[in-house]
């Protein structure tokens, strides 16, 4: 093992037929390790630990830049490949002009996430994620509807009448719900 090497943590669950189903719990990076003839000790950290180099490329954007594009610039400068991160498409709608300060790559990403009202973390596969922490505006459309439906009412803030449900005990024998 070497410092900075990827380490996947898995959990095995024995099924009724005796086979084992393995689930990946997390992807970490080795920070230290030691071993003897009977025991190995491995200390691991998340990928943000190794993003401590400074980002010096903050500039003023006269015409503006989306937080999405700005995050891509920071990730590219940090040496993170596009397969190793996920950026919410909502970030393409938020345009900024100000430069990022001289901070580490992980701090620059956190500033971007905060500016977009987003959450920054990483998933069990070690992929960095920046995604919205709220429900963004959305629209509904249909390629057809029945005579008794109206697709515009899906987003209307009115009380909806529940005519049927798959939940247990929704219908009573006396006709009530």
- Rounded to the nearest integer, the mean pLDDT of the chain is 82
Is the pTM above the cut of 0.85?
A: no
Mean pLDDT of 137-146: 80
Least confident of 33-47, 105-119, 141-155, 162-176: 162-176
* pLDDT confidence tier of residue 96, bands split at 50, 70 and 90: very high
Query: Which residues, in sequence order, are bridge partners of residue 44?
Result: 30
Query: Which residues, in sequence order, are bridge partners of residue 30?
Result: 44
Vertex 139: Cα angle to 116 and 164 (nearest 5): 120
Of the two residues 152 and 119, the one the predictor is more confident about is 119
Between the two ends of the chain, the Cα-to-Cα distance in Å is: 62
Distance CA 99, CA 150 (A): 47
For residue 107, the SS3 value is helix
Query: Residue 68: which H helix or E strand, with range?
Result: helix 67-77
Mean pLDDT of 105-123: 92
Buried b (16+ CB within 10 A) or exposed e, 33-59: eeeeeeeeeeebebbbebbeeebeebe
Of the two residues 76 and 33, the one the predictor is more confident about is 76
């Amino acid at each position: 093992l070497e410092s900075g090497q990827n380490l996947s943590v898995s959990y095995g669950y024995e099924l009724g037929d005796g086979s084992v189903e393995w689930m990946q719990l997390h992807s970490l990076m080795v920070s230290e390790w030691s071993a003897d003839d009977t025991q190995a000790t491995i200390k691991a950290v998340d990928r943000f630990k190794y993003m401590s180099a400074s980002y010096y490329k903050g500039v003023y954007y006269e015409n503006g830049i989306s937080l999405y594009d700005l995050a891509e610039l920071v990730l590219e400068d940090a040496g993170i490949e596009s397969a190793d991160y996920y950026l919410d498409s909502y970030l393409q709608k938020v345009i900024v002009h100000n430069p990022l300060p001289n901070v580490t790559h992980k701090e620059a990403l956190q500033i971007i996430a905060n500016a977009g009202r987003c959450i920054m973390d990483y998933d069990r596969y070690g992929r960095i994620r920046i995604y919205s922490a709220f429900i963004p505006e959305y629209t509904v459309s249909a390629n057809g509807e029945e005579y008794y439906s109206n697709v515009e009412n899906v987003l209307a803030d009115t009380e909806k009448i529940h005519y049927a449900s798959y939940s247990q005990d929704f219908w009573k024998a006396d006709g009530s719900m």
